[in-house]
Amino acid sequence: MSPTRVSVRPISRREGTARRRIAEKYLEVAEIATTEDGAAINVAVGIAVLAGIAASDAICAAALGERYAGQDHAAAVQVLKRVDAQLARKLGRLVDMKPSSHYGDTLLTTRDRDRAIKAARELVQAAKDRI
């Protein structure tokens, strides 16, 4: 069996910097949403997921000159893993929360929110350190 091919596309350093700035803003907004509970938890987690994805794009731009280019964000984890396995695990945890935060009808917990914000912060900081 041949390995699954992950779709990537080139990304310039300038585009990577833009993705980092977007990641920073998503994180800022996610942190604002942490001031409320209830449905706001899902919103905070959902935005933290977007921060992590954008940060991953920036990290990959700096290290590889390419980023994931598909709809299955779990595959983006594989691209980031080529750069840093620990960061890829953090992105994987965020991506696992995407369906429940974006499309779910069950409210997430404060623990979910705290884990998502922490992972997003670490990914955004890694992007800031690299690009």
Span 67-107, pLDDT tens digits:
999 989 899 999 999 999 999 999 999 999 999 999 999 99
Give the pLDDT band of residue 2 (cuts 50, 70, 90). very low
Give the pair of three-digit tokens for residue 71.
Answer: 């709809």
CA–centroid distance for 37 within its chain: 22
Q: How many domains does the chain have?
A: 1
CATH number, domain containing residue 32? 1.20.120.330
Residue 58 counted as domain residue: yes
Single-letter amino acid, residue 99: P
Write out the residue range of the structural domain in which residue 90 sits.
9-130
Mean residue pLDDT of the chain comes to: 96
Cα–Cα distance for residue pair 100/112, rounded to 1 Å: 11
pTM > 0.85: yes
Residue 84 counted as domain residue: yes
